């Protein structure tokens, strides 16, 4: 089954007991806005998970603006909300799916595959006049045992090595190196503007695939065929390491890559904000 579900699919299964709906709405710069929106109205039965309090660890010197949460801490939080190893999770947000994709990736990182993203998010659901409520459900705690998948991650040392080897490679070099993908908007990748991090530019050797270009205007993901065309310049046999500003918007790009048939995809979780926290790391600007 696809990693995304339609509004009508969810409507037909809204009250199935094995399912947990998770509201992931969050606005950068307005950390309380997501929870406030949830408390005002949300999809019936939905619980709330906050990007910074639940789906990230506190930021430190390294690790980026949104470090990954400790697996045991996240597992305990999920269990408290009634999410168990047998649960089906449907996540949504109102930010083109980027926070929902963060939860989607994290659950798979914990070994839980039965997780999906609602196409279009909350506004699209409400626009269809589908039910909303301000009632917060009482959840019976469950048990969630994480089975961490470390192969889904790339650390800064690996990324540094790939960057150096990519820059040093020539046209005659073997093309077995992993591909570094920068998921941010072109202006940030090129170093023309930067409003979130202390340095502008990109990791040397990375190529730019803006995450929002994987979606249609209504916030739904493009079809598998369209995504195959979108990523046509990438070899499916090569490993791909995806990053963004802080490890969040890389996740919808990972979802899109997998939908297009790429299977060797990893996340550099600290991403650009982690990369620039090391003074020895080089910074590139421009188109390449």
Domain holding 126: CATH number? 3.40.250.10
The reply to whether 264 and 224 lie within a common domain is: yes
Give the pLDDT confidence score for residue 138 in this predicted structure: 92
The reply to whether 209 and 76 lie within a common domain is: no
Hunting for tokens 């994709």 — which residue is that?
A: 101
Q: How far apart are CA 71 and CA 24, in angstroms?
A: 18
Q: Which long-range contacts (CB under 8 A, 24 or more apart) does 107-113 make?
A: 108/149, 108/152, 109/68, 109/71, 109/148, 109/149, 109/152, 109/153, 110/71, 110/74, 110/75, 110/144, 110/146, 110/147, 110/148, 110/149, 111/146, 111/147, 111/148, 111/149, 112/85, 112/87, 112/144
Give the pLDDT confidence score for residue 287 in this predicted structure: 82
Give the pLDDT confidence score for residue 29 in this predicted structure: 85
Task: Confirm whether 213 is domain-assigned.
Answer: yes
Q: How many domains does the chain have?
A: 2
Q: Which of 125, 149, 173 is the last residue of a domain?
A: 149
The reply to whether 12 and 103 lie within a common domain is: yes
The reply to whether 125 and 29 lie within a common domain is: yes
Q: Look up the domain containing 169 and give its range.
A: 153-275
Task: Confirm whether 162 is domain-assigned.
Answer: yes
Give the pLDDT confidence score for residue 183 in this predicted structure: 98
Give the pLDDT confidence score for residue 65 in this predicted structure: 95
The reply to whether 114 and 40 lie within a common domain is: yes
Block mean pLDDT (10 aa), the chain, length 288: 92 96 94 95 98 96 96 98 97 96 98 97 96 95 97 98 89 74 97 92 97 91 95 93 98 97 97 97 91
Interacting residues of 149 by C-beta distance below 8 A, sequence separation 6+:
108, 109, 110, 111
Tokens representing 248 are 């969040």
Task: Confirm whether 282 is domain-assigned.
Answer: no
The reply to whether 162 and 122 lie within a common domain is: no
The reply to whether 170 and 95 lie within a common domain is: no
Q: How far apart are CA 218 and CA 123, in angstroms?
A: 10
Task: Confirm whether 287 is domain-assigned.
Answer: no
Give the pLDDT confidence score for residue 176 in this predicted structure: 81
The reply to whether 164 and 217 lie within a common domain is: yes
The reply to whether 145 and 157 lie within a common domain is: no
Give the pLDDT confidence score for residue 1 in this predicted structure: 60
The reply to whether 140 and 168 lie within a common domain is: no
Mind telling me the catalytic residues? Answer: 244
């Amino acid at each position: 089954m696809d990693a995304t579900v339609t509004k009508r699919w969810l409507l037909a299964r809204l009250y199935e007991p094995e399912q947990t709906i998770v509201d992931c709405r969050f606005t950068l710069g307005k950390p309380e806005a997501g929870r406030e929106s949830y408390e005002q109205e949300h999809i019936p039965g939905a619980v709330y998970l906050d990007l910074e309090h639940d789906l990230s660890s506190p930021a430190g010197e390294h690790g980026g603006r949104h470090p990954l949460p400790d697996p045991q801490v996240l597992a305990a939080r999920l269990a408290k909300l009634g999410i168990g190893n047998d649960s089906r999770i449907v996540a949504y947000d109102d930010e083109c799916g980027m926070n929902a994709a963060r939860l989607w990736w994290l659950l798979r990182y914990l070994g839980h595959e039965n997780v999906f993203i609602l196409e279009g998010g909350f506004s699209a659901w409400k626009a269809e006049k589908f039910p909303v409520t301000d009632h917060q459900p009482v959840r019976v705690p469950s048990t969630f045992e994480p089975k961490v998948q470390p192969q889904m991650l790339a650390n800064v040392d690996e990324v540094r090595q790939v960057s150096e080897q990519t820059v040093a490679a020539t046209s005659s070099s073997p093309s077995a190196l992993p591909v570094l993908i920068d998921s941010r908007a072109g202006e940030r990748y090129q170093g023309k503007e930067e409003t979130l991090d202390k340095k502008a530019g990109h990791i040397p050797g990375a190529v730019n695939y803006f995450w929002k270009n994987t979606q249609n205007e209504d916030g739904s993901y493009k079809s598998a065929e369209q995504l195959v065309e979108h990523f046509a310049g990438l070899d499916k046999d090569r490993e791909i390491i995806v990053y963004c500003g802080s490890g969040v918007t890389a996740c919808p790009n990972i979802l899109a890559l997998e939908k297009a048939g790429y299977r060797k995809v990893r996340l550099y979780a600290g991403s650009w904000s982690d990369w620039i926290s090391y003074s020895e790391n080089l910074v590139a600007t421009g188109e390449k």
